[in-house]
Structure 1
Amino acid sequence: MTSTSPSSSSYLVCNTCGTQHPTADRTALTTCFICDDPRQYTPPSGQSFTTLSALRSSSSPRYTNKLHPFPRGNDHDDNDNNDRFTSIATHPKFAIGQRAVLLRTPHGNVLWDCVTFLDDETVASLEARGGVQAMVISHPHFYSAHLEWAERFGCPVYLAAEDKGWLARRDGGGRQVFLEGVETRIEVGGRDTGVRVVKLGGHFPGSLVLLYDGHLFTADTLMMTPAGRSNWSVDALGNPRERPKGVNTFSFLWSIPNMIPLSADEIARMWNILRNYDFTSAHGLFLGWDIYDENIKARVLESMQIQIRAMGHVEHPLLEATL
């Protein structure tokens, strides 16, 4: 396992988005270009930076990464206890607060997305689960400290070629692999892991989703809504009920924090790619954002049609689409 550069722990990390910048000079870096983009934001308190060294040594709060088992889903997942998937989240919340997910496959472990914080305890916990042989980052807001992780585990990290301009840190050792096509098969040691990375775009030109054995990992390429995670199975008295019609499961946004939607044509372009894949569950960017439903693909299409109608489109080709 390759160790990180001793100086990288002093590189400045944006407190708002968690991006690690390749300098320790606070006079040279006064703003975060990720947060200056309309798809992100700077908080009312203003721009501020920390370092991995400070996060690791802090006693109040004391940051730690906790590993969370995935929720039980369908029968297949119950049979294998769903130990193929483990969420990794920093506690207390740091920056955006997204989770990373370790996918354990017969031919190597793949880390989907990344969190900024990394310490020896996290490394030991993941090594006990077989380590990390490949990483895939969905989009620039989750680039975080991915080179710290890739260097520590000695693995490649896959990123969309369209979004390489948003990289704060560049790797001279070839760990960053830029994906050009719509679909990429993730291999480890020349063996197919079964993991498929699909470039949908939308939020960013290269925004990715990941598919593995019927599980769709969406990050915020498809933004899971509170209504999408609602429990509509019974009413307050325990009586069976159906999901109300017209309730969305996902939204499709160019800027998530600033709530700027994608255009109808861009949503339709995304569907024309995603329609070619089958999945029976969806897993969003935060802990607990998991939906197991045999009809989840139909709910993606339904959500797209709901948003297009809400944007004022009475006629649009996607409104006529069916599975």
Structure 2
Amino acid sequence: MTDSLSYLICTTCGTQHPTADRAALTTCFICDDPRQFTPASGPSFTTLTTLTTNGAHHNEFHPVPSDPRLTAITTVPPFGIGQRAILVRTPRGNILWDCVSYLDDATAADVAARGGLAAIVISHPHFYGTHAEWAARFRCPVYVAGEDRGWLARRSARQVFIEEGVGEMRVEVDGGDTGARAVKLGGHFPGSMVLLFDGHLLTADTLMMTPAGRSNWAVDALGRPREPPKGTNTFSFMWSIPNMIPLSADEIVRMWGIIRHYDFKSAHGLFPGWDIVDDETLKARVLESMQIQIRAMGYTEHSFLKIAL
């Protein structure tokens, strides 16, 4: 039996495929999908054995601003898509939101020193990465959306499917509620999720945080108070992020029908530094961003534009 550390990992998206045979794996089905891409240099693959022995990468742990219960894990230099994972400390144990593909003994030891993992929740197929390795290493369940099970390169007995038609799942440990909620919003993928925990909205790219959304509009260069410019969005809603294909107006409206039932005042996106903290207007900014995008797509008379909180 082939050691899973020798399984091939796509260098573009970080997905681990259940084979070590380079002749059998000549392309990555995740990157062949129009929501992703294959670089001009063509498909290429590596393995965890190679990554962890060549000394080129390591993982860093950084507290997320405003709440020490959240810790970002990033691979340096970035590997694959370059997303961060977020370790969420709950009263029932640690939850890992998404994962980075790079996993070595030093990372495992650091996570173990912080209490290990009680569960993993993966937002969508682009971040499935090496989640089966993480789940096996920490002997914990990994929650994925049933709608997206066809995008799993590896199957594991530790995978827990949030079944189709189920919009929310409480993340539980040994039958106890962690306080975290995995919520399916769809859009990017049919099962794309966010994670809600004590006022924090962990968005991955289900809600794509924009540079303008992270701007500091509170004061001008002279320190005088100011308002954000009109029409400035905080999030965008995309079917394909790298290929810049937006979601339809109907899909955005459907997503609002779900997220409007939840309260949050902080948001944490897929890359380091993509955080908006302690903003009581954040839910209204989600709605406003949806309306900005729908209007920009030409639906200037859409009834959704009249909705207000």
TM-score (norm 2): 0.98
SS at match of 2:287: helix
Give the ranges of 4+ consecutive aligned residues of structure 1 lying more than 4 Å apart after TM superposition: none
Residue of structure 2 in register with 1:301 after alignment: 287
CA distance in 1: counterparts of 2:259 and 2:69, whole angstroms:
24
> What is the match of residue 302 of structure 2?
316
The letter of the residue matching 1:310 is: A
User: Take 2:28 and 2:195, find their aligned partners in 1: how far apart are those partners?
Assistant: 28
Aligned counterparts of 1:140 and 1:225: Cα–Cα separation in 2: 21
The within-5 A match list for 1:135-214 is 135-171=120-156, 174-180=157-163, 181-214=166-199
Q: Which residue of 2 aligns with 1:76?
A: none
**Alpha-carbon distance, 1:6 to partner:** 7.0
1:137 Cα deviation (Å)? 0.1
Q: CA deviation at 1:99?
A: 0.4
Q: CA deviation digits over 1:84-137, x for unaligned, max 9?
A: 110000000101000000000111111100110001111111111110010000
Partner of 1:248: 233
| Secondary structure of the corresponding residue to residue 155 of structure 2 | coil
Distance 2:19 2:303 in 1: 49
Q: Percent identity?
A: 71
What is residue 51 of structure 1 aligned with on the other side?
47
Counterpart Cα distance in 1 of 2:224 and 2:20 = 59
Partners of 1:321 and 1:177 in 2: CA distance: 36
Determine the structure 2 residue equivalent to 1:67: 61
Q: Deviations over 1:261-284 (max 9, x none)?
A: 000000000000000000001110
Q: Structure 1 counterpart of 2:119, which letter? A: A
Do the aligned residues in 1 keep the contact of 2:119 with 2:142 (CA within 8 Å)? yes
**Separation (CA, whole Å) in 1 of partners of 2:213 and 2:221:** 18
Can you give the 5+ residue segments of structure 1 that lack an aligned partner in the other structure?
73-81
Partners of 1:144 and 1:70 in 2: how far apart? Answer: 22
Note the alpha carbon deviations across 1:188-242, whole angstroms, 9 max, x for none: 1111100011000000000000000000000000000000011111111121211
Give me the CA root mean square deviation: 0.9
Structure 2 partner of 1:79: none
Structure 2 spans left out of the alignment, 5+ residues = none
Q: Which residue of 1 aligns with 2:11?
A: 15
CA distance in 1: counterparts of 2:283 and 2:300, whole angstroms? 23
1:32 aligns with 2:28: yes
CA distances 1:256-310 after superposition (whole Å, capped 9, x unpaired): 0000000000000000000000000111000100002110000000000000000
Judge conservation of contact 2:217–2:226 (CA < 8 Å) in 1: yes
- In the superposition, the TM-score normalised over structure 1's length comes to 0.93
Tell me what 1:259 maps to: 244
SS in 1 for 2:108: helix
Distance 1:53 1:317 in 2: 54
Q: Deviations over 1:162-205 (max 9, x none)?
A: 0000000011xx20011021010011111110001100000000
Hey, what does 1:134 align to over in structure 2? 119
Deviation per CA, 1:39-67: give whole Å up to 9, x if none: 000111111001010100113xx210100
Q: Is 1:232 paired with 2:226? A: no
